Structure 1
Amino acid sequence: MRGFMPQPAPVPFSLIQFILMACIISIGMGQFIVFAVLAPLIRSVGLQEIHGGLIISFSSIIFALSSGVWGRISSVYGRRKVMQIGLYGYCCGTLLFAAVFYAGLQWWLQGTMLFLALSVARMLQSTLMGATTPAATAYMADITTPEQRVKGMGLLGSAHSLGTILGPALAAPLILLHLLAPLLAASVITLLTALVVWKWLPRHDVQAPHAPIHIGREILRTLHSYFDPRYAGTLLIGVLMFLGYAMCQQTVGYLVQDRLLIGPEQTASIVAHAFICSAIFALTAQLLVVARLKLAPSTLLFLGLPMMLAGYVVLVQLQWERDALIAFSFIGFGFGLALPGFSATASLSVSAEEQGAVAGIIAGAPALGFILGPTLGAILYEMHTMAPYAAAALLNGLLAMAVLRRNRKQKAI
Structure 2
Amino acid sequence: MSQLRITQFILMTCIISIGMGQFIVFAVLAPLIRSVGLQEVHGGLILSFSSVIYALSSGVWGRVSSVSGRRRVILVGLIGYCLGTLLFSAVFFAGLQLWMQGTLLFLSLCLARMLQSVLMGATTPAATAYMADITTPEQRVKGMGLLGSAHSLGTILGPAVAAPLILLHLLAPLLAASAMTLLTALVVWKALPGLPSSNRANVHIGREILNTVKSYFDSRYADILLIGVLMFMSYAMSQQTVGYLVQDRLQISPQETATIVAHAFIFSAVFALIGQFAVVAKLRLASNTLLLIGLPLMLVGYLVLLQLQMERDALIAFSFIGFGFGLAMPGFSASASLSVSAEEQGAVAGVIAGAPALGFILGPTFGAMLYEFDEMAPYGASAVLNGLLALAVLRRQISHRNSPTH
Instruction: Give the TM interval when normalised to the shorter protein.
Output: over 0.9
State the SS of the aligned residue for 2:220: coil
Amino acid at match of 1:227: F
Task: List, as ranges, runs of 4+ consecutive aligned residues in structure 1 with deviation greater than 2 Å.
Answer: none
> 1:3 is matched with which residue?
none
Deviation string 1:217-252 (CA, Å, 9 cap, x unpaired) is 111100000000000000000000000000000000
Amino acid at match of 2:381: A
Question: Hey, what's the Cα distance between the residues in 1 that align with 2:206 and 2:341?
Answer: 25
Question: Hey, what's the Cα distance between the residues in 2 that align with 1:190 and 1:129?
Answer: 10
1:364 corresponds, among 354, 364, 367, to: 354
For the pair 1:252 / 2:235, whether they are aligned, the reply is: no
> 1:84 is matched with which residue?
75
Question: Hey, what's the Cα distance between the residues in 2 that align with 1:268 and 1:148?
Answer: 39
How far apart are residue 85 of structure 1 and its match? 0.2
1:139 corresponds, among 130, 135, 153, to: 130
How far apart are residue 211 of structure 1 and its match? 2.3
Amino acid at match of 2:313: D
Question: Hey, what's the Cα distance between the residues in 1 that align with 2:205 and 2:114?
Answer: 17
How far apart are residue 129 of structure 1 and its match? 0.1
2:312 corresponds, among 304, 312, 322, to: 322
> 1:128 is matched with which residue?
119
Question: Hey, what's the Cα distance between the residues in 1 that align with 2:102 and 2:343?
Answer: 48
> 2:59 is matched with which residue?
68
Asked if structure 2 preserves the Cα contact closer than 8 Å seen for 1:11 and 1:202, the reply is no
How far apart are residue 206 of structure 1 and its match? 2.8
For the pair 1:407 / 2:397, whether they are aligned, the reply is: yes
> 1:351 is matched with which residue?
341
Question: Hey, what's the Cα distance between the residues in 1 that align with 2:61 and 2:262?
Answer: 30
Asked if structure 2 preserves the Cα contact closer than 8 Å seen for 1:235 and 1:346, the reply is yes
> 2:259 is matched with which residue?
269
Asked if structure 2 preserves the Cα contact closer than 8 Å seen for 1:309 and 1:396, the reply is yes
Deviation string 1:258-296 (CA, Å, 9 cap, x unpaired) is 000000000000000000000000000000000000000
How far apart are residue 11 of structure 1 and its match? 7.1
Identity rate, percent: 77
Question: Hey, what's the Cα distance between the residues in 2 that align with 1:303 and 1:276?
Answer: 21
2:45 corresponds, among 48, 51, 54, to: 54
State the SS of the aligned residue for 1:108: coil
Question: Hey, what's the Cα distance between the residues in 2 that align with 1:24 and 1:46?
Answer: 33
State the SS of the aligned residue for 1:40: helix
> 1:149 is matched with which residue?
140
> 1:236 is matched with which residue?
226
2:177 corresponds, among 170, 174, 186, to: 186
> 1:161 is matched with which residue?
152
TM-score by length of 1: 0.97
State the SS of the aligned residue for 2:285: coil
Question: Hey, what's the Cα distance between the residues in 2 that align with 1:23 and 1:120?
Answer: 25
> 1:312 is matched with which residue?
302
How far apart are residue 50 of structure 1 and its match? 0.4
Deviation string 1:97-156 (CA, Å, 9 cap, x unpaired) is 000000000000000000000000000000000000000000000000000000000000
Question: Hey, what's the Cα distance between the residues in 1 that align with 2:58 and 2:4?
Answer: 26
Asked if structure 2 preserves the Cα contact closer than 8 Å seen for 1:260 and 1:320, the reply is yes
State the SS of the aligned residue for 2:193: coil
Question: Hey, what's the Cα distance between the residues in 1 that align with 2:50 and 2:36?
Answer: 20
Question: Hey, what's the Cα distance between the residues in 2 that align with 1:206 and 1:355?
Answer: 12
How far apart are residue 309 of structure 1 and its match? 0.1
TM-score by length of 2: 0.99
Question: Hey, what's the Cα distance between the residues in 1 that align with 2:203 and 2:397?
Answer: 38
